[in-house]
Amino acid sequence: MKSWGVIVFLVALAGVQVFADDAAFIENARSPARIVSGWEAEEGQIPWQLSLRMVDSTGAVSSCGGSIIHPEWGLTAAHCTANRVTMVLRAGAVSLLRPELIFETFEYFNHPLYIDAIAASKVQPHDIAILKFQRTITFSDRVQPIRVQNSLEKDRNYNGVRLEASGWGRTWTDGAAPENLQWVYLSGDSNEFCRSAYNGSSIIVDSTICASAYNVTSQSTCQGDSGGPLVELEEDGKYTLVGVTSFVSARGCHVDMPAGFIRPGYYHDWILEVTGINFDWVPEPGM
């Protein structure tokens, strides 16, 4: 088994390269970078997907993904929102040129255990943020919320479970980002396997979920996909958000290494505190 301990962010940043002891941005990966070996999404296929364009205090723009969980709320990665002053959100989009909705927000809530001050230089656990939309969005065939992983399954072993990731991540390291939304199958990994793959890295904690290539070794998330959804089609025929896209190996996105995501089921108490809404749920008997 290959074993590399360096981890990189999946956020797409404009002209920034920052190194740390055990983490670096995806631009520093030494291999081609994209949602690799996936497919172009069809209209309405992934209606919970958000596109984020974030602006920091210097005017630098970066891009991430996110998920709609309520008419007024979304989830993304904390390293996407940390130290940003505003962001433009697109919803109901396959092509970024033709979103159903486009609006601006400046209000977000990073998890209190996430350290914004080192967000630009170090991959961290608890890499999850809540977005406040500043408006109430109207749902349609192209714009829908996704169910959040329940707290009962927060420690589930997803080893071998088929999952789906999506985003507008770049099609090549430092290359052009795709106009159209891409998606890919991934296969869930146990946390034990993921820790071993990353040499016991402290980044892999209980609230981490990892996933590897499903049937082609290059399948993965990558640059620009941060904050986007990792979902499972459950037995009741509904999709559930089981992960928020966070990191990959510094060796590159298409190498045979797990990608890392944050399990939202761990954070229901915090989400309730921030939003005043209980997103937790109990599976029906037989699920």
**pLDDT on residue 22:** 39
Q: How large is the C-alpha radius of gyration of the chain?
A: 17
Provide the CB-side half-sphere exposure for 228 (13 A, CA): 36
pTM, entire model: 0.87
Catalytic residue among 51, 111, 126, 127: 127
Q: What does the domain layout of the chain look like in residue ranges?
A: 29-41+147-265, 49-145+270-275
Catalytic residue among 51, 62, 67, 79: 79
**pLDDT on residue 241:** 98
Q: 3-state DSSP call for residue 248?
A: strand
**pLDDT on residue 32:** 36
**pLDDT on residue 169:** 76
Are 185 and 215 within 8 A, CB to CB?
yes
**Digitized pLDDT (tens) for each residue of the chain, 287 residues in all:** 333 344 555 554 433 333 233 333 333 333 333 455 567 889 999 999 999 999 999 999 999 999 999 999 999 999 999 999 999 999 999 999 999 999 999 999 999 999 999 998 889 999 999 999 999 999 999 999 999 999 999 999 999 999 999 998 765 545 556 778 999 899 999 999 999 999 999 999 999 999 998 876 556 666 668 999 999 999 999 999 999 999 987 776 666 788 899 999 999 999 999 999 999 999 887 66
Q: Does 79 qualify as catalytic in the annotation?
A: yes
**pLDDT on residue 30:** 35
**What token pair was written down for 187?**
């296969």
Chain-centre distance for alpha carbon 20: 21
CATH class of this structure's domain 29-41+147-265 = mainly beta
Topology agreement, domain 29-41+147-265 and domain 49-145+270-275? yes
- DSSP string for 26-56: GGG-SS--SSBT-EEPPTTSSTTEEEEEEEE
Catalytic residue among 226, 249, 254, 268: 226
Q: 3-state DSSP call for residue 273?
A: helix
Q: Does 37 qualify as catalytic in the annotation?
A: no
Q: Does 127 qualify as catalytic in the annotation?
A: yes
- Tell me which architecture the domain covering 49-145+270-275 has in CATH: Beta Barrel (2.40)
208: which strand partners?
262
